Amino acid sequence: MNSNRLELERILLGKLINNPENYYNNHSLLSHSLFENSDHIKLFKLLDKQYQDNGKIDLTDFYMSFSNTSIAIEVAQKCTEMAYDGSTCQSIILVLNQLSRKKELKMICMQTIDKIDNDEDLFDTVDYIEQNVHKIGSVDNNELFSIGDQMPSMLKNLEKNMNSSGMTGIPSGFESIDKFTSGWQKQDLVIIGGASSMGKTSFALNVAVNAAHIGHSVVIFSYEMSVNQMLMRMISGDTNINNKHLLKGTIYDEELTKIHNSVGIFERLNMYIDECKNTSLKYLLNRIRQYVVAKKVEMVVVDYLQLISYSMRGRTREQEVSQVARALKNIAKELDITVVALSQLSRNVSKRETGRPTLADLRESGEIEQAADVVAFVYRPEYYGLKTDDNGNSVEGMAEIIFAKGRNIGIGSKYLRFIDYLTKFEELSTFNT
């Protein structure tokens, strides 16, 4: 058996075992014929039987059923260990189907040679080839989605959106941005780019906190800042107390009361910070899945993209970063969540007089742009010594959020005020159009 196929079978089974939602969402595409390994076939049949008998999959019952079969629990464990590959179930199913068809085609070719060697009737041989090749080349009905079947679901979503006042995703908390984006959409990969010290972490943290305040469950994966630093920034923004004073402990009694009140509010939020000490992509995908299942997380913030490691023998760093970006997009789609990933920019941006970023400045990978649904840059002209814009308006304290790519929203700019000592963004209505 092909080693690549064996690995793909394990990954697919791992995804189905680890998260039964993957089975439910892809039920029409799944069949035991996808698998060649006998143990894998047995595992799948156990899952499928549970679903057919009970209308759902209970993982406790699934593992208990091993006592009545010859399947070793080690096989299931080996599969689940590989479940956090960045591929989607749909993409794996497609590849497995293609591998099966290639195997069938190879068999047809060998049988055709036998027929020719045995001097069978030429027209019978040609007919055999045409029938079987047509069967292999025909579209698999399981991969087809009838327009008629999908219309009710589309109509339901449309009616739901009609009652949403234009807000179809997770609000950023900034009215000007939300009017433009309609919120951060599920299944989207949102890239927040910016040069060093531009405020992209602060912006992402503000967005995460705002989402949590209105009831959404959010997790932040922090590769640079400690949990304590993150918490200090959150408290500073909420209480309007200078972040440096919090860090030094130089605060007044009345400020301490504000802090206690703020802490009480944050304690009630469904918000989590994961201080990532393991930088591997597989670890990140594993943790995301765990938070989605255990904490019903809807938004994931990753700070930042280039700090995630993905070892690929013989590949460049650019190719590795590309794979990370694609994996984050895949998991957003697979788990029906929003992933917001921060990205550093190349040094070229600092060489420009204005420092204004473009898509070409995304460090180490053009694939980041390709994988992303939205690319937004945090740009503060004041950082580069600029005092006014092209119209002579003051840009003091102004931050431009540049939407350089928006798969469904287009491109444009929105303006916020950045309060440095609070590491906080606020609306700046004067500049918004």
User: Domain spans of the chain?
Assistant: 1-144, 168-427
Strands (E), 73-226: 189-194, 218-222
**DSSP β-bridge partners for residue 49:** none
If you average pLDDT over every residue of the chain, what do you get?
80
Per the structure block, which two tokens stand in for 138?
């025909």
Share of the chain above pLDDT 90, in %: 13
pLDDT confidence band for 337 (50 / 70 / 90): very high
Highest-pLDDT range among 88-102, 200-214, 351-365: 200-214
CATH no., domain 168-427: 3.40.50.300
Higher pLDDT, 91 or 174: 174
Quickly name the fold that domain 1-144 has: DNAb Helicase; Chain A (1.10.860)
Kindly list the strands in the beta sheet with 398-406, ordered across the sheet, starting from the edge strand earlier in the chain. Answer: 271-275, 218-222, 299-303, 338-344, 189-194, 374-379, 398-406, 412-419, 424-427
Average pLDDT over residues 323-346: 88
Taking Cα atoms as reference points, which of 433, 377, 425 lies closest to residue 405? 377
Higher pLDDT, 119 or 258: 258
Apex 240 CA angle, 237 and 245, nearest 5? 95
Of the segments 303-312, 370-379, 383-392, which one has the largest average pLDDT value? 370-379
The SS3 assignment for 376 reads: strand
